[in-house]
Structure 1
Amino acid sequence: MPVISEPAEFNEEELYVDLRAALGLPLYLKCEGFNFAGSIKLKAAAEMVTAAERDGLLRPGSVLIESSSGNLGVALSVIAASRGHRFLCVTDARCNLPTIRLMEALGSHVHVIGEPDAHGGFLGARLAYVSALCAADERYVWLNQYTNAGNWRAHYRTTAPAIARRFPDLDVLFVGAGTTGTLMGCARWFWQWRRRVRVVAVDSVGSVSFGGVPGRRMIPGLGTSVPPPLLDESYVDEVVRVEEPDAIRVCRRLAGRGFLFGGSTGTVVSGADQWLARHSGRRHLTAVAIAPDLGERYLDTVYREGWPTDVAEPEAPPALAGLA
């Protein structure tokens, strides 16, 4: 085992689950949740913070600020705590309460947006709040995961080549689409180095990322209510859209076999299942899907019996004070 000094130095890169035994699905699931942030977002967080430090954007007295539905906020909390930065996460009412408490435990401050923007949804409201705060106080340094090239470069450098090393004969890769950092980093790498690999984006029904009709989404992480600036559809071969009940069913089926994954992972696996069912004649395909997170933070949502039909609107955790 490695000996580390900072939490970002550890990330399990080589763990895959063969889903043929658990789901009868010819799919290898790359598990990205085994690090101190519990999700794939640790890679992007480290890349973006390191670049901000290198470029002199972070100075004594600076405060990192970022909009996040949860996982990136936790990852930035881990990085900020380990490197001595202050951090304010702007999230919204769909964020799981355990995730908020985890960020607080790491020393971060959290501001919860309770009402969506009329046109941009919760994401639009979060972005407006961050923009206003940065305009009013020069201490705040916004990494802006939605436009920051470090978001996709992290996966171009690490995630994609790791998959290619393990599966040199890869035929199809399934990647969930949120900010599209993971998607764009992997798609760009495979386009450059393994052009025969088919990259399939998995999106949530209700997301507008690929021109879909906007709708209510309860599972945080994948999908957006504002078109993602990082997205370049020319690198994406296909898009599969997943209904949230299907994602929840997949999560619970996996849990029934001892694998507790997060809502984003359930969405990606459900999308891969749809695609593979349509291509069942190609029996010798090598297929990999990226699992962004684990399931402990979803015990009160995805894994609670009756959710989300027993919730009229996302419960709003108490808004916490920002940095004075």
Structure 2
Amino acid sequence: MPVISAPHEFDVSDLFVDLHPIFARHLYLKVEGFNFAGSIKLKAAREIVAQAEAAGVLGPGSTLVESSSGNMGVALSMLAANRGYRFVCVTDSRCNAATRRTMQAFGAEVHTITEPHPVDGFLGARIRYVQEMCAADEKVVWLNQYEAPGNWMAHYSTTGPAIASKFPELDVLVIGAGTTGTLMGCARYFQEHRPGVKIVAVDSVGSVTFGGAPSPRHIPGLGTSIRPGLLDESYVDTVVHVEEPDTVRICRQLAANGYHFGGSTGTAVAGALAWMQENCADRSTRAVTIAPDLGERYLDTLYDDNWVRDTFGATALAGDEERNEGRAAR
């Protein structure tokens, strides 16, 4: 058991779940929620902050500010608390209450945007607020996770190599797309070191990341209303779009088997299964996807029947009764 002196020094990087017993596919899930920030965003936050400090952009008296739907905000809140920075997270009304309270527990200030920009949605409104903060105070530093090279570099040096080492015969790597930092870092690594591995990006319906039509989205994590500056589609072989009710169903199916994950995991697994259903008739293809966080921050949303019913309709709960019956029979 390691002994640490700073919270960002601990991160479980070698845990994978074999999903074959649940979905009858050779699909493996890299679990990234076991660290003190509770998500994969710790890797990017740690690298972006380190690069900013090395460049002299961050220093004593600096105030960090970032736009985040949740997990990056929590990771930066933790790092800011440990390193003595003031931190302001600019989020929006889709950020769940547990995430907001976690940031505040670390000492962060949370500003919640309640009205989307008419063209660029909630993300556009958040970024405009961040820019106003920077213009008003020269001590405010925007790390800009949507364009910071440290975002993808963190995964090029950690996540990609960890997957490649564990799965030397991997066929497909399926990555959910938010800021696209994880996607770009892993895709770059595999193109250089294992070019035969197919890269599949998973996005939410309603996201504009890959040119889709914008529409309301309710689950934070994946998808954007502004195309991320980090994205280079030349590294991506194909894109799968997932409806949010499918995210809910997969999350609940995983939970019915004892695995409690967040919304981005449900979306990524749904996308991976859809791609494998269409492209892997012989069921021999070996694929890996990523679980960015765990499920406790989503108890009031994805795992609340009333929220699901009010948000997506009763059909989004279809299958729960059968899963519960199957669980009781075991």
Whether these two folds match at TM > 0.5 is: yes
Q: Pairwise CA RMSD of aligned residues?
A: 1.0
Q: Deviation string for 1:277-320 (max 9, x for gaps)?
A: 112324322110011111000000000003244149xxxxxxxx
* 1:76-87 paired onto structure 2 within 5 Å: 76-87=76-87
**In structure 2, how many angstroms separate the alpha carbons of the residues matched to 1:74 and 1:174?**
25
**Contact 1:116–1:122 (CA<8 Å) still a contact in 2?**
yes
Say whether the 8 Å CA contact 2:25–2:283 is kept in structure 1.
no
In the alignment, does 2:189 pair up with 1:189?
A: yes
SS at structure 2 position matched to 1:78: helix
Deviation by residue 1:237-279 (Cα, 9 ceiling, x = unmatched): 0100000000100000000011000000000000001001112
Cα offsets for 1:14-41 (capped at 9, x unmatched) = 1000001133332000001110011000
SS of the residue corresponding to residue 307 of structure 1 reads helix
Correspondence for 1:21: 21
**Normalization by structure 1: what TM-score?**
0.95
In 2, Cα distance between equivalents of 1:170 and 1:160: 12
- The residue aligned with 2:3 is 3
Distance 1:306 1:267 in 2: 20
CA distance in 1, matches of 2:105, 2:68: 17
Q: After superposition, give the CA deviation of every residue in 1:151-210 in whole Å (9 maximum; x if it has no partner).
A: 000000000000000001111000000000000000011011100000100000000000
8 Å contact kept, 1:218–1:308? no
One-letter code aligned to 2:216: R
Q: Provide the C-alpha distance between the structure 1 equivalents of 2:264 and 2:53, rounded to a whole number of angstroms.
A: 30
Distance 1:282 1:186 in 2: 26
Partner of residue 208, structure 1: 208
Q: Counterparts of 1:217-296 in structure 2 under 5 Å?
A: 217-296=217-296
Q: Residue type matched to 1:283 in 2?
A: R
Uncovered stretches (5+) of structure 1, i.e. residues with no partner: 313-324
* Distance of 1:311 and 1:97 partners within structure 2: 17
Give the partner amino acid of 1:223: G
Counterpart in 1 of 2:319? none
Q: Which residue of 2 aligns with 1:127?
A: 127
Preserved CA contact (<8 Å) 1:209 1:224: yes
Seq. identity, %: 64
Measure the CA separation in 1 of the matches of 2:134 and 2:232: 28
Q: How does 1:82-121 map to 2 (within 5 A)?
A: 82-121=82-121
Specify the alignment match of 1:140 in structure 2. 140
Structure-2 residue corresponding to 1:319: none
Match of 1:301 in 2: 301
Tell me, which stretches of 5 or more residues in structure 2 are unaligned? 313-330
TM-score computed with the length of structure 2 as normaliser: 0.93
TM alignment of 1:23-102, pairs within 5 A: 23-102=23-102
1:177/1:223 contact within 8 Å kept: yes
SS of 2:269's partner is helix
Runs of 4+ off more than 3 Å: none
Match of 1:156 in 2: 156
- Which of structures 1 and 2 has the larger relative contact order (alpha carbons within 8 angstroms, sep 6+)? 1
Secondary structure, counterpart of 1:46 in structure 2: helix
